[in-house]
Amino acid sequence: MNATIVHISDLHFHTYPQNFREWKSKRIIGTGNLFLHRARQFPIKRAKQLVEQIQNMKWDHLVISGDLTQLSLERGFSLARETLEPLLKDPERVTIIPGNHDRYVKHSAANDYYKQYFGEFFGDEEIHVCKLNSDWVIVGWDSAHPNDWLTAAGTVRRSTIRATEKLLLSFPEKTRFVIVNHYPLTFPEGWKFDQFHELYNLIPVRNWILRHPNIRLYLHGHIHRNWTHHLPRVSTPELLLVNSASSTSTPYTGQKSSFHQIDLQEDNVRVTPIMLE
């Protein structure tokens, strides 16, 4: 059976802090970055244009792989929900996971704005699970957590790996899986790796995924340069990794895509880059 995924990421809906309480910790740095760069890089009109473009496409499932907001302020989440609402009518057709900017600072459980505004698209379990059809299953991971002032790294918890491993064993052997996580597992050639910006446990997580050949696709964002990468496996299908970060940003020189359409056709995966002009 065939299924089509639209994958977007890192939309960075933004508002500015309005009171002393909202200026806490690293939001001071984040607000400076917003004022100098991000507000112009992610204009709201492009977010609305993205929604209209996706509305006119044919798809079975929408994936948003984190960083809905810039400063994890409630008004940022509210604006994101209001703008994206036309695409969110059926929660069973949408997977949304948090990014590091959605967990920018520590919140009490009562002020978990990601959960309040988008929790229905992940759920209350350790992992998010959505069966696309008899061949393909989406698995969402939450690896984002608050950090100190100059750190944006994440961690895939051991409990997340255990829950995913148990899930894989519960499906028929022929089932293929799509992992959705905010952080990348691969990088462009010449990219300078920053341990304070990526997954703390990147290498063991990547090796774990490669040991499970029925995980065929890994969707992520985080680094604002889109790409499609391939990791080979010995005697089993390769792992395809797709980055759709900064789907609403103003285009940079040489950019070839803003987001991706992914067509799953039985055992085959076709990725089509799409520009938001």
Cα separation, 121 vs 105, whole angstroms? 22
Burial class (CB in 10 A: 0-12, 13-18, 19+), 126: middle
Report residue 126 as tokens.
């350790």
Hey, what amino acid is at 225?
R
CA atoms within 13 A on the CB side of 49: 14
Domains present along the chain, CATH in parentheses: 2-274 (3.60.21.10)
Cα separation, 248 vs 41, whole angstroms? 8
For 140-149, letters b (16+ CB in 10 Å) and e give: bbbbbeebee
Closest CA to 217 of 146, 162, 271, 165: 271
Strand order of the β-sheet with 268-274 is 94-97, 61-65, 2-8, 259-265, 268-274
Per DSSP, helices labelled H in the chain are 27-33, 39-41, 44-55, 74-84, 113-118, 158-170, 202-210
CB-CB contact of 225 with 190 (8 Å): no
Closest CA to 42 of 272, 251, 257, 274: 251
Report residue 214 as tokens.
């029925």
Hey, what amino acid is at 38?
R
The DSSP secondary structure of 35-68, one letter per residue, reads: IIIIHHHS-HHHHHHHHHHHHTS--SEEEEES--
> In a structure prediction context, what are the per-residue pLDDT tens digits for the chain, which is 277 residues long?
799 999 999 999 999 888 767 677 788 788 888 888 899 999 999 999 999 999 999 999 999 999 999 999 999 999 999 999 999 999 999 999 999 999 988 876 667 999 999 999 999 999 999 999 999 999 999 999 988 888 999 999 999 999 999 999 999 999 999 999 999 999 999 998 999 999 999 999 999 999 999 999 999 999 999 999 999 999 999 999 999 998 999 998 889 999 999 999 988 999 999 999 7
